[in-house]
Amino acid sequence: MAATVTAQAISVIGLGAMGAALAKALLAANHRVTVWNRTASKSVALGEVGARIAHSAAEAIDASQVVVVCVLDYGASDSLLRAPDVVARLKGKTIIQFTTGTPEDAQDASEWAREHGVAYLDGSIGCYPKNIGTPDGSILYAGSRSTFETLRHTLANLSGHALFVGERFGNAAILDGAVVGSFSLAATLGFLYGAAVCDAEGISLDTYLSLASARLPFVEATLQTCVQMIKKGNYSGSQATLDTWAAGIGQLVEYSHERGTDSSYPQEVLARLQQAVAMGHVNMSWPPCLNVSGSRSGIGVRYNLTGLPFRY
């Protein structure tokens, strides 16, 4: 991880698995870390490795200029930060908010922070606690670019990939939902379904994994093609049209029925393909089957994926 240029006093509020990982990463980078958690016992292990333990959220905020918040939800965060004995203490300080919420939650919190003289960054963590403080860690930040730049070296201690995604406070949450809640989830579900099919036939899952991994460059190339199609509003496909895909997925659904493997995942994909074909998009590629519509304000994608549980 990046070396710390200047050690800072940083407080971490919320010590679940992720909050504790954030605190440990800051301690490892030699920052002066104060921690607080509603359940005091969660602070003990961090105290043993050098963190100062605060006895209240207000005390934790008093201890530092930068306050990291990582609690259950925005309701819990608001109950702590907007308490009468806390609000005045936050003026002139910086909050880095890692609590999971909607884009609207992030926007509301940022407006509240501005009204109370608090610098604010909304962060969305795209990795597991074990990846925090490592080159594999990934965190998105939205808000004031100047605040991000001021804290860039400190944020580099938390993850190898600290990416600023714009001054619109909801951007981090939107991108996190798109990548983790949609793309990563769908990719994992697809992989697991393939594993169920292979397992039903007694095919080595290690062999399946090696083959799936080898296909990643193909998937990346397909994604690049789809993005260009969406940007141009031209979905014509010359390599594999939707009817070709529908025929292949249809065979997988038929096989699943024969073998007794849960087929709800490929059936959902097939239904999307068939719907697009019925609408006259037979000679086009993937984007039309997800009802992609372009506009000056962005791209809207409406997609509902079902398919759990799988049967192994």
The listed CATH number (3.30.1180.20, 1.10.340.30, 3.40.50.300, 1.10.1040.10) that belongs to domain 174-300:
1.10.1040.10
The reported pLDDT for the residue numbered 249 is 81
Structure tokens given for 130: 């074990």
Q: What are the boundaries of each domain within the chain?
A: 9-169, 174-300
* Identical fold between 9-169 and 174-300: no
Contact 10, 70 (CB under 8 A): no
At 221 the pLDDT is 86
What superfamily does domain 9-169 belong to in CATH? NAD(P)-binding Rossmann-like Domain (3.40.50.720)
Give pLDDT, residue 312. 32
The pLDDT tens digits along the chain (312 residues) read: 544 457 899 999 999 999 999 999 999 999 999 999 999 999 999 999 999 999 999 999 999 999 999 999 999 999 999 999 899 999 999 999 999 888 999 999 999 999 999 999 999 999 999 999 999 999 999 999 999 999 999 999 999 999 999 999 999 999 988 887 778 878 888 898 889 889 888 999 999 999 999 999 988 888 888 888 888 887 776 677 787 778 878 888 887 777 777 778 788 888 888 888 888 887 787 777 665 444 433 333 333 333 333 333
Angle, helices 205-214 vs 216-232, to 10°: value is 40
Rounded-to-integer distance, Cα 15 and Cα 3, Å? 24
94-97 and 52-53 beta bridge pairing: unpaired
